[in-house]
Amino acid sequence: MSAYYRSGERARSNSWKETKDYLLSLSVEDRRQFYRTGHISLKDIPIFTPTSNGNDKPRYPRNEKLDQKISLIRGDITKLEIDAIVNAANRALLGGSGVDGAIHDAAGNKLVKECASLNGCHTGQSKITGGYYLPAKFVIHTVGPIVFGCVGAEDRASLRACYKSALELAVQNNIRSLAVPCISTGIYSYPREKAACEALATVREYLDEHHDKFDRFIFCVFELKDNEIYLRNLPLYFPGASTGSMDKKQTSADKEKKEECASTDKEEKREECASADKEEKREECASADKEKMEERSSKGPIDEEQTEAQTSSDDKEQTKHEGIGTIESVLTYCITVWYGNCTDADRKSLQRIVRAAEKITSVPLPP
C-alpha cells in the first residue's frame, strides 16, 4: 500500500480524533490535497490601511503596534488559509444556516462529530475544534445573543463576550492568525452597525494588551452593507498616521500647491497682459502705416507734383522773407551811421536810395 493511500485513509478515518490529529500534523502544503474548497493564503489578504474618516474623531488613540495586524476582507471565510476562523454557531453546535452551515459543509462530517462531543455552548462562550478539510487549522465556535426588539445591556455584554472568549481561546492554543465573521447579525437580528461597533471595541481593547500574541486579526464580512459599515468604522477604532499628522501634512501640501498655482496664474496673467500690449501697439503702428500708404495711393501723381510745387514755393517764400529781414538790418545800420555824418548833397542822394529801398522794406525815413 502506497504512502499516499495510507495518508488518505488516515485523513478519512471514521474517528474524528485520528483524522484531526493527522491533518494537524501535516504542513500547509501537504494539507492542501484534502481541502474541499479553494484557499486564500494569509500573504494574499491585504492589511487594512486606515484613512481619515471625515470630521469624525477617532474613539481610540493610534497604536502603532497594531498598524500591520488588522485586515478587512469581503468574501468566503471558509477559504481562508490561516490558523483559525470563528464560527457564528448555535447553542447545540451541530450546524445551522448562514456561515455556520457553510463551515460545516466545507469541513466535513468529522466536524459535527467533534462538536457533538462538546455538549453544546452557552451564549457569549466559545469552544474550539479542528478545521478538518478546511484551509483553516482550527474552528472556534461562539454563540451570539438573539435580539428581541431593542438592544439591551445584556445583549451588548453577551456579544462582547463572544469576541473576547474567542480571542482568549486563540491565545491559549497559540493561534497567531484569526478571522471573525459578523456574529448575531443574521437571523439573530442584532443591528449591523451596533454589532460592528461592539466587535471593533472589544477586539481593539483586547489587542492593546495582547498585541504580541497575534500576527493578524481579520474581520471577514460577506455582504456589501457589512463591508461598508466596517470601512466607515474601522478608522475610528484603529486610526493610523493618515488620521492625524498625515492630514496636517496633506493640508500643508495642498496649501502650498494652491499658493504655487496662484503665483503661476499671476505670472501668466502678467505675461498675457504684456503680450497683449505689445500686440496692440504693433497693430496700431501697422494701422497707421497702412493709412499713410492708402492716403498716398489716393492722391495720385498730379497731387504729388502739386504737393512738391507747393513745398518749393513755401521754401522760396521763407528764403525771401529771411533775405528781406537781412536787408532791413543792413539798411537800418547804414542810414543811422551815414545820415548823421554826411553832407547835405550826400543826404539828398541817400534819401533817393532809401525811398527806392522803401518799396521793398519797412525801414522808416529819418526826419
The DSSP code sequence of 292-347 is HHHHHHHHHHHHHHHHHHHHHHHHHHHHHHHHHHHHHHHHHHHHHHHHHHS-HHHH
Average pLDDT of the residues in 171-184: 98
Query: pLDDT tens-digit profile of 12-61?
Result: 667 999 999 999 999 999 999 999 999 999 999 999 987 755 567 899 99
Per cent of the chain over pLDDT 90 is 58
CA max distance for the chain: 176
Q: Which pLDDT score is estimated for 245?
A: 46
Residue 360 grid coordinates: 521793398
Residue 290 grid coordinates: 497702412
Per cent of the chain over pLDDT 70 is 61
Q: Which pLDDT score is estimated for 281?
A: 65
Q: Which of 200, 195, 199 is nearest to 184 (CA)?
A: 195
Q: What Cα–Cα distance (Å) separates residue 332 from each residue in 318, 336, 338, 361?
A: 21, 6, 10, 10
Query: pLDDT tens-digit profile of 194-222?
Result: 999 999 999 999 999 999 999 999 999 99
Query: pLDDT tens-digit profile of 308-352?
Result: 555 455 555 554 444 444 455 545 555 555 555 556 666 666 667
- 56: DSSP letter: P
